Amino acid sequence: MERKVRVRFAPSPTGALHLGGVRTALFNYLFARHYGGDFLLRIEDTDQTRYVAGAEEYIIESLKWCGLTVDEGVGVGGEYGPYRQSERKEMYKQYALQLVESGNAYYSFDTAEELDALRKECEGKGETFIYNAKSRGRLKNSLHIPASEVEQLLASNTPYVIRFKMPENENLILQDIIRGEVHFNSSLLDDKVLYKSDGMPTYHLANIVDDHLMKITHVIRGEEWLPSLPLHVLLYKAFGWEDTMPEFAHLPLILKPVGNGKLSKRDGNKMGFPVFPMEFTDPATGEKWHGYKEDGYFPEAFINMLALLGWNPGTDQEIFTLDELSKLFTLEHVNKSGARFNPDKAKWFNHKYLVAKPDSELATQVGELLTADHLAFDRPKVERICGLMKERYNFVSELYEDCRFFFVAPTEFNEKDSKKYWKEETPALMQELLEVLKSIDDYSFANTEQVISAWINEKQLGFGKVMNPFRVAIIGAAKGPHMFDVIEIIGKEETIQRMEKALASL
Ligand code: GLU
């Protein structure tokens, strides 16, 4: 029988969730939605030394902001819980012991100092120390210490770890949904620790046990986990869980905007773009990181951008809602090769979403900014302004900055623009225009356009000769939408006041 698709996002709370992590969550989410399956959130917090306070909350909040609803897991619950590995701690030991019993794992009593000394000794000879079939016979472990001695060591609470007994020189041909066959030779792999002396499982053991117990059908994760694949597959075999072993898919790396290598959090601060979904302050260092949310990105735009980092729909379409993505997303269209991150493209996506937003929604956001600035406004006007101006911006904050002039008369005039457009003959011309403006009662676009154009034609003036200084006078700079729109929105009284002020100060 086909099993119900169950996938998990399994972050370790070691810091803020990088955008690569969000992409992993997104691909898992889309995969679950596409196949009508479950999307789980499991927190892998077995490494207490790397635990960062607030990281788990950050992960949960980020998924929420992105609209990636978790079906089961931390914060939601479900029948396979608990979903935080630290709360499952007690369970893992029996699985480690099961492997010791079946001969797939062993106790190792080597101290950290002893192993360090060996590492150094090898380095001295230009070699690398690996705990594996070649070296394990010389080390302090249950594979060759007499059983009675092992008993004694255990009885006297000598610290130990449990290691996986990696087979010697086995060629492993494994399947990855994205990469196809991947080959490994087990001799290059070490006897990984499964269970630590602090009574905690390592990532490898907890991850496999939990994926099994939580009935995970597909493991979709970053490429950095590909080297762990042979160990994981061997663990499934050792446990006798091969029948229900999940299928694996390792997602391509996200590359720096320029140059080689994987996108790092440092690139963001260096090049001025966020690599985190939301702002994050490292509790240990106090270091602050930008977030897409606070930088003014719409979550839909952020998600849309991430979806195309390594996946393509097979067509030229670039704008997708989360629902559309869920319908289209399959792993067949995920690439093997790294996906280059492009911060300008991220802005482009935001622009597209901004333009597509209903004016009323933008007006709410602009209204909030106006209120925060203690500026009075008329809601229908704000909507109209958003409609007029949104085409030119990537962010609501930019739109806001550029439309503030509707609500506050300019207190200064852009130097370059006034130099360029406010010439010797301009004051007289503007005085005349002011009279025309005073004579008009109907400030609708159609009417002011007609009257002012007629006057310009009659005087045989160039349109720009009038409109450019007019613009500087009303707006304070040579920017903004059509002047007839502008004066319709600010109205007669304000138009005349601004003209008078400009004539007095320019
Ligand atoms: N805890 C691992 C991480 O932080 C999970 C890797 C996996 O999905 O197997 O990415």
- Taking Cα atoms as reference points, which of 161, 149, 158 lies closest to residue 97? 161
pLDDT at residue 385, rounded to an integer: 98
pLDDT recorded at residue 490: 97
Q: How far is the CA of 23 from the centre of ligand 1 (A)?
A: 13
pLDDT at 1: 63
Strand partners, 340: 255
Helices and strands in the chain: count of H runs, count of E runs: 19, 14
DSSP 110-136: --HHHHHHHHHHHHHTT-----STTTG
Judge if the beta carbon of residue 498 lies within 6 A of ligand 1: no
Q: Which residues, in sequence order, are CB contacts of 438 under 8 Å at separation 6+?
A: 496
Strand order in the sheet with 161-164: 105-108, 161-164, 193-195
Cβ–ligand 1 distance for 228 under 6 Å, the answer no
Spatial separation of the C-alpha atoms in residues 178 and 253, rounded to whole Å: 13
Query: Cα(15) to centroid of ligand 1, in Å?
Result: 13
Query: 41: which strand partners?
Result: 9, 73
Q: Determine which residue's CA is closest to atom 5 belonging to ligand 1.
A: 10
| The listed CATH number (3.40.50.300, 3.40.50.620, 3.30.470.20, 2.40.50.140) that belongs to domain 1-74+252-347 | 3.40.50.620
Instruction: Please indicate whether residue 246, judged by its CB atom, sits closer than 6 Å to ligand 1.
Output: no
CATH 3.90.25.10 matches 90-195: no
CA of 3 to the centre of ligand 1 (A): 23
What pLDDT score was predicted for residue 166?
A: 98
Look at residues 424, 430, 414 and name the one whose alpha carbon lies nearest to residue 501: 430
Asked whether the CA dihedral 333, 337, 343, 348 is positive or negative, the reply is: negative
Q: What is the pLDDT of residue 50?
A: 87
**DSSP helix/strand/coil, 344:** helix
Q: Does residue 178 have its Cβ closer than 6 Å to ligand 1?
A: no
Which ligand 1 atom is nearest residue 220's CA? Answer: 8
Q: What spacing in Å lies between the alpha carbon of 286 and ligand 1's midpoint? A: 26
Candidate CATH numbers 3.40.640.10, 1.10.10.60, 1.10.10.350, 3.50.50.60; the one for domain 415-505: 1.10.10.350
Ligand 1 center from residue 11 Cα (angstroms):
5
Q: Which of 165, 256, 265, 347 is catalytic?
A: 265
Q: What atom of ligand 1 comes closest to residue 14's alpha carbon?
A: 4
Pocket test for ligand 1, best of 12, 88, 248 (most atoms within 8 A of CB): 12
207 lines ligand 1 (CB under 6 A): yes
132 CA from centroid of ligand 1 (Å): 24
Cβ(12)–Cβ(236) below 8 Å: no
Query: Where are the chain's structural domains?
Result: 1-74+252-347, 90-195, 357-397, 415-505
Tokens matching residue 329: 């997303």
- Write down the pLDDT at residue 51: 86
* Ligand 1 centroid – CA 319 distance (Å): 29
Q: Is the CB of 44 inside a 6 Å radius of any atom of ligand 1?
A: yes
Q: Which of 43, 221, 251 to mutate to test the pocket of ligand 1 (most atoms within 8 A of CB)?
A: 221
42 close to ligand 1 (CB < 6 Angstrom): no
Residue of 166, 238, 247 whose CA lies nearest to 209: 238
Looking at residue 384, its pLDDT comes to: 97
* pLDDT for position 284: 86
Any residues with CB less than 8 A from the CB of 138 and at least 6 apart, and which?
none
How far apart, in whole angstroms, are the C-alpha atoms of residue 240 and residue 230? 15
- Give the position, in ligand 1's atom list, of the atom nearest the Cα of 207: 9
Query: Does residue 377 line the site of ligand 1, with CB under 6 A?
Result: no
User: What is the reported pTM?
Assistant: 0.94
pLDDT digits (tens, 9 = 90+) for 434-448: 999 999 999 999 999
Distance CA 474, CA 496 (A): 9
pLDDT tens, position by position, 125-171: 999 999 999 999 999 999 999 999 999 999 999 999 999 999 999 99
State which ligand 1 atom lies nearest to the alpha carbon of 232.
Answer: 9
Rg of the chain in Å (alpha carbons): 32
List, for residues 469-500, the tens digit of each pLDDT value: 999 999 999 999 999 999 999 999 999 999 99
Ligand 1 neighbourhood includes 11 CB (under 6 angstroms): yes
Closest to 444 measured CA to CA, from 498, 481, 406, 484: 484
Residue nearest to atom 10 of ligand 1 (CA): 11
pLDDT at 319: 98
The mean pLDDT value of the chain amounts to 96
* 10-residue stretch averages of pLDDT, the chain, 506 residues long: 92 94 98 98 92 93 98 97 96 98 98 94 93 94 95 97 97 98 96 96 98 98 97 98 98 94 90 95 90 98 98 97 98 96 98 98 98 96 97 98 96 96 95 98 98 96 95 96 97 98 94
209 contact partners, CB below 8 Å, separation of at least 6: 91, 92, 95, 201
Answer whether the bond into residue 167 is a cis peptide, omega within 30°. no
Distance (Å) from CA 204 to ligand 1 centroid:
9
Q: Is the CB of 225 under 6 A from ligand 1?
A: yes
Which residue from 7, 40, 44 has its CB within 8 A of the most atoms of ligand 1, so it is best to mutate?
A: 44
Whether 357 sits among the annotated catalytic residues: the reply is no
- CB of 201 closer than 8 Å to CB of 92: yes
Same fold, 90-195 and 415-505: no
Q: Which of 385, 349, 352 is nearest to 367 (CA)?
A: 385
